[in-house]
């Protein structure tokens, strides 16, 4: 028996209270937490060593339909894994091997992924043997990692736990696509800039031949630093990865004829290869030809030794592209080659890559260590915090795997008392330290509590599981300095007393989320379950990646709004409910966002669907503000909207939800509860199925 029966045969997990928005009951089939737990159980029962030994046998079993170079597919699988994971970009957390989206459009037809359909086809017998116990995403990561190990390379571990997507839609923003063009246009393909991950849309990183195909190593070095930087790699990691990857295998470009149509162009016969037989020695993949070293199936630092100790000259290879060789070399050395991006490591204008090349050439152990760490980083960032890694996890957690301190032994606080204090404060006396809003002559902090909780939670990125309120990094730079968070430190000061009263038992992050939750309930929202147990980070590190990354330009704002919503993992209905609900309470503040102070609704301390009715019935006119951010005022009334609010009315796909909520207060209240609990639980990797929920 390959694996034990799944512990969680039923897709429904019984819970006393539903932490995900419903009243009582179970998590629905298909809920991410259920899918994740089901997969974790299956993976836990899987003998990963057995999978690895199957993979090692596969590497050495050359098939006639796609013969292995020198009888070993291992280098081919290193490339597969690198191309699956190397799509990760830190600008918005998109990319990486999670979802296994290299199987789908657009990724499978990217020029960089030429012939990787063959690698995935070779993997099928292994996938078939273990079925749902290992996802495609995990299997593709394990294949390259095992390949490195099989050739004697250093490996730290295997961070598993990826769920497969059903299509490639999550890669559409990577381009080429209309969605990518709207938020991250690339004026001249080949010179694309961040937030895109690569210099060329359709490559995962940078043109191997040099910028725009020009074999100029110094300029190529700049592109390499830029594009690996967008993947979150420093100089040492960059050099280790390039030289470690290219310790193995070869490039393929037997003749200039090309690889033939991509899967998108010809799904039945993709990349047939237009040179001779199209396979084996006739393979055309990138159009370059030759190995990097004389021992391409064996781990070594020869890549660096040969690079550093020889002169290199550019020439046009058999595939018609510029590549580099050692002048007048004889014997096996006459066959080795370098790409312009490899030679670039000797011509870094900053003088840094050269030093690292020299170090790695002289010190195998140093190189081993650097490569092992860089590979583990490359193959695990898409998984987010260390807690999400399953499988053969390397210890300790590394900086690229954000982690939080353990829960205090004093946890939990007396939740009813905490809630009572917050409820009292929402409409309590204004504190001199940060004055409350005043509505109908009454002090009101509820809107500010909700805004603080929203700003804290809405940093969450579903794309790479970073951000969220767990850790309460909103207390520290850089988050506290973001313009959108202006004056929220004042709201924190208002909450100081509650924090002091309950001490270590109550974390700031739980307090912030609970304050927002209580504010909604107290104002008329439906009762919500609360799942305590968050802990507090000791500084703001990690948040720099979460900085709002795109400044909307004229006419593009709707696309930016939708993009931000998708990064958070929210649907349009959830997003409208959350933003509309948030703007139901409290008001805009002149001190923070231009010279207008005023509410969205006539009852800014009551939680109901008035925001939606106002949006559809009032006539809003633009009013100018100092900050440049446009605001809109209802004709004849002191009611306001932001430009983003008006998009909900103008965009038909948002508007259907606005109409629904305007007509049905109960539907709004229920949708808000579901969306809020989803958002504030999205970073609870410590308690995925809500065992700590009240």
Q: What's the CA gap between 182 and 611, in Å, rounded?
A: 29
Q: Per-residue DSSP letters for 80-108?
A: HHHHHHTT--TTT---SSTB-GGGSTTGG
Q: Which stretch binds ligand HEM (CB under 6 A): 68-76, 268-276, 393-401, 656-664?
A: 68-76
The DSSP bridge partners found for residue 439 are 442
Rounded least distance, CB 338 to ligand HEM, Å: 11
Q: Which stretch binds ligand HEM (CB under 6 A): 134-142, 159-167, 239-247, 572-580?
A: 239-247
Q: Which stretch binds ligand HEM (CB under 6 A): 33-41, 280-288, 491-499, 573-581?
A: 280-288
Length of the chain: 694
Q: Which of 83, 252, 321, 657 is catalytic?
A: 83
Q: Is the dihedral of CA 343, 344, 345, 350 positive or negative?
A: positive
Report the relative pairing of strands 322-325 and 313-316 from DSSP bridges.
antiparallel
Residue 235 vs 522, nearer CB to ligand HEM = 235
Q: Which stretch binds ligand HEM (CB under 6 A): 58-66, 152-160, 285-293, 668-676?
A: 285-293
According to the binding rule CB under 6 A, does residue 248 interact with ligand HEM? yes
According to the binding rule CB under 6 A, does residue 76 interact with ligand HEM? yes
Neighbours of 614 (CB within 10 A): 24
Query: E strands, 383-523, where?
Result: 390-392, 437-439, 442-444
Helix 136-150 and helix 48-59: axis angle, to 10°?
A: 60
According to the binding rule CB under 6 A, does residue 245 interact with ligand HEM? yes
According to the binding rule CB under 6 A, does residue 139 interact with ligand HEM? no
Q: Which helix (H) or strand (E) holds 306?
A: helix 302-309
Q: Which stretch binds ligand HEM (CB under 6 A): 72-80, 127-135, 475-483, 615-623?
A: 72-80
Q: What's the CA gap between 216 and 210, in Å, rounded?
A: 6
Rounded least distance, CB 206 to ligand HEM, Å: 5
Task: Spell out a b/e string for 36-73, using b for 16 or more CB atoms within 10 Å of the CB, else e.
Answer: bbbbbbbbbebebeebbeebeebbeeeeeebebbeebb
Q: Which stretch binds ligand HEM (CB under 6 A): 17-25, 283-291, 355-363, 484-492?
A: 283-291
Query: E strands, 450-603, where?
Result: 587-588, 598-599
- Tokens 């948002």 correspond to what residue? 654
Residue 371 vs 508, nearer CB to ligand HEM = 371
Residue 296 vs 599, nearer CB to ligand HEM = 296
- Tokens 């969450």 correspond to what residue? 460
Among 192, 206, 474, 679, binds ligand HEM (CB under 6 A): 206
Whether 401 sits among the annotated catalytic residues: the reply is no
Among 20, 39, 82, 304, binds ligand HEM (CB under 6 A): 82
The two most distant CA atoms of the chain are separated, in Å, by 91
Rounded least distance, CB 187 to ligand HEM, Å: 22
- For ligand HEM (CB under 6 A), the number of binding residues is 25
Neighbours of 435 (CB within 10 A): 12
Nearest Cα neighbor of 40 from 356, 391, 284, 411 is 391
CA angle, 469 then 475 then 477, to 5°: 110
Residue 157 vs 412, nearer CB to ligand HEM = 157
According to the binding rule CB under 6 A, does residue 211 interact with ligand HEM? no
According to the binding rule CB under 6 A, does residue 249 interact with ligand HEM? yes
Q: What's the CA gap between 255 and 202, in Å, rounded?
A: 22
Residue 227 vs 671, nearer CB to ligand HEM = 227
Rounded least distance, CB 198 to ligand HEM, Å: 10
Rounded least distance, CB 341 to ligand HEM, Å: 4
Residues 304-343, one symbol each (x = binds ligand HEM by CB under 6 A, - = not), give -----------------------------------x-x--
Residues 337-356, one symbol each (x = binds ligand HEM by CB under 6 A, - = not), give --x-x---------------
Q: What's the CA gap between 259 and 184, in Å, rounded?
A: 29
Among 162, 250, 338, 475, binds ligand HEM (CB under 6 A): 250
Among 78, 361, 390, 474, binds ligand HEM (CB under 6 A): 78
According to the binding rule CB under 6 A, does residue 242 interact with ligand HEM? yes
Contact in structure between 518 and 426 (CB atoms under 8 Å) = yes
With 0-12 CB in 10 A as exposed, 13-18 as middle and 19+ as buried, what is 635?
A: exposed
Active site residues: 83
Residues that bind ligand HEM (CB under 6 A): 69, 75-76, 78-79, 82, 205-206, 208, 224, 241-242, 244-246, 248-252, 285-286, 288, 339, 341
């Amino acid at each position: 028996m390959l694996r034990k029966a799944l512990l969680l045969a039923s897709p429904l997990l019984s819970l006393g209270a539903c932490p995900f928005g419903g009243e009582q009951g179970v998590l629905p089939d298909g809920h991410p937490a259920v899918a994740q737990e089901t997969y974790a159980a299956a993976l836990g029962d899987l003998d990963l060593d057995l999978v690895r030994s199957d993979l090692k046998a596969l590497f050495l079993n050359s098939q006639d339909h796609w013969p292995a170079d020198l009888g070993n597919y291992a280098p081919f699988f290193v490339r597969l894994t690198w191309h699956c994971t190397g799509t990760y970009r830190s600008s918005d957390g998109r990319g990486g091997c999670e979802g296994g989206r290299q199987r789908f459009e657009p990724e499978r037809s990217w020029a960089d992924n030429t012939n990787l359909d063959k690698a995935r086809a070779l993997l099928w017998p292994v996938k078939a043997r273990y079925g749902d116990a290992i996802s495609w995403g995990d299997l593709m990561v394990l294949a390259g990692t095992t390949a490195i190990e099989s050739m004697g390379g250093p490996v730290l571990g295997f961070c598993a736990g990826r769920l497969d997507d059903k299509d490639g839609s999550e890669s559409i923003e990577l381009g080429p696509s209309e969605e990518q063009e709207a938020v991250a246009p690339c004026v001249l393909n080949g010179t694309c800039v961040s937030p895109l991950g690569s210099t060329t849309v359709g490559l995962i990183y940078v043109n191997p031949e040099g910028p725009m195909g020009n074999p100029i190593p110094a300029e190529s070095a700049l592109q390499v630093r830029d594009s690996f930087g967008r993947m979150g790699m420093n100089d040492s990691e960059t050099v280790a990865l390039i030289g470690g990857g290219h310790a193995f295998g070869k490039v393929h470009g037997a003749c200039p004829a090309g690889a033939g149509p991509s899967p998108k162009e010809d799904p039945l016969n993709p990349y047939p290869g237009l040179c001779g037989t199209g396979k084996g020695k006739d393979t055309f993949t990138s159009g370059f030809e030759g190995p990097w070293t004389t021992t391409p199936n064996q781990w070594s630092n020869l890549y660096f030794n040969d690079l550093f100790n020889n002169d290199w000259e550019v020439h046009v290879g058999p595939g018609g592209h510029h590549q580099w060789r050692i002048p007048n070399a004889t014997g096996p050395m006459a066959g080795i080659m370098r790409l312009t991006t490899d030679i670039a490591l000797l011509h870094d204008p900053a003088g840094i890559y050269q030093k690292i090349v020299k170090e790695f050439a002289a010190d195998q152990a140093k190189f081993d260590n650097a490569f092992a760490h860089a590979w583990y980083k490359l193959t695990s960032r898409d998984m987010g915090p260390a807690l999400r890694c399953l499988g053969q996890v390397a210890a300790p957690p590394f900086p690229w795997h954000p982690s939080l301190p353990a829960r205090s032994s004093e946890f939990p606080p007396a939740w009813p008392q905490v809630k009572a204090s917050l409820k009292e404060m929402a409409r309590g006396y204004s504190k001199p330290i940060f004055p409350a809003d005043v509505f109908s002559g009454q002090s009101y902090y509820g809107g500010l509590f909700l805004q603080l909780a929203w700003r804290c939670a809405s940093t969450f990125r579903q794309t790479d599981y970073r951000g969220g309120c767990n850790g309460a990094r909103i207390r520290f730079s850089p988050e506290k300095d973001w313009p959108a968070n202006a004056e929220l430190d004042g709201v924190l000061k208002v909450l100081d007393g509650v924090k002091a009263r309950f001490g270590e038992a109550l974390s700031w992050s739980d307090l912030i989320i609970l304050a927002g939750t209580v504010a909604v309930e107290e104002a008329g929202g439906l009762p919500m379950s609360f799942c305590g147990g968050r802990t507090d980070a000791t500084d703001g590190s990690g948040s720099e990646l979460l900085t709002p990354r795109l400044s909307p330009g004229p006419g593009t704002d709707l696309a930016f709004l939708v993009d931000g919503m998708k990064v958070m993992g929210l649907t349009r209905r959830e997003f409208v409910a959350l933003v509309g609900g948030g703007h139901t309470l409290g008001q805009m503040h002149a001190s923070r966002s231009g010279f207008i102070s005023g509410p969205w609704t006539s009852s800014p301390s009551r939680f109901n669907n008035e925001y939606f009715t106002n949006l559809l019935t009032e006539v809003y006119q633009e009013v100018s503000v100092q900050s440049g951010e446009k605001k809109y005022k209802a004709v004849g009334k002191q009611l306001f909207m932001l430009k983003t609010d008006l998009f909900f009315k103008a965009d038909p796909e948002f508007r259907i939800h606005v109409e629904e909520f305007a007509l049905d207060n109960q539907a709004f209240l229920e949708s808000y509860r579901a969306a809020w609990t989803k958002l504030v639980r999205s970073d609870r990797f410590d308690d995925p199925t809500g065992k700590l929920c009240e």
